Amino acid sequence: MIRKIRLEKFGKFEKKEFECGKITLFFGKNESGKTTIFDAILIGLTNISKTSHIGKQLARYGKYSKDDVVIE
């Protein structure tokens, strides 16, 4: 279970931490960062190649690394 998501200079989040429970709901207006959170989870839990199809789509975040995303 994911208990915490910590983002450092990732997307629109400069330094942000999200606490998660058994059920966590992300909601908000358009462009509020919901997709950014899910992309961060994808990066944090996988080893996506930056040259893969998905890796190229994630290039919109600039130079990102797994160090920018901490999943606990």
> What pLDDT sits at residue 47?
83
Supply the pTM of this predicted model.
0.82
Dist CA 61 CA 9 (whole Å): 9
Q: For residue 6, what are the β-bridge partners?
A: 17, 70
> What pLDDT sits at residue 4?
94
For residue range 7-60, list pLDDT tens digits in order. 988 888 999 999 999 999 999 999 999 999 999 998 888 888 888 888 888 888
SS3 72: coil
* DSSP letter string, 27-63: --STTSSHHHHHHHHHHHHS---TTSHHHHHGGGG-S
pLDDT band, very low/low/confident/very high, at 69 (cuts 50, 70, 90): confident
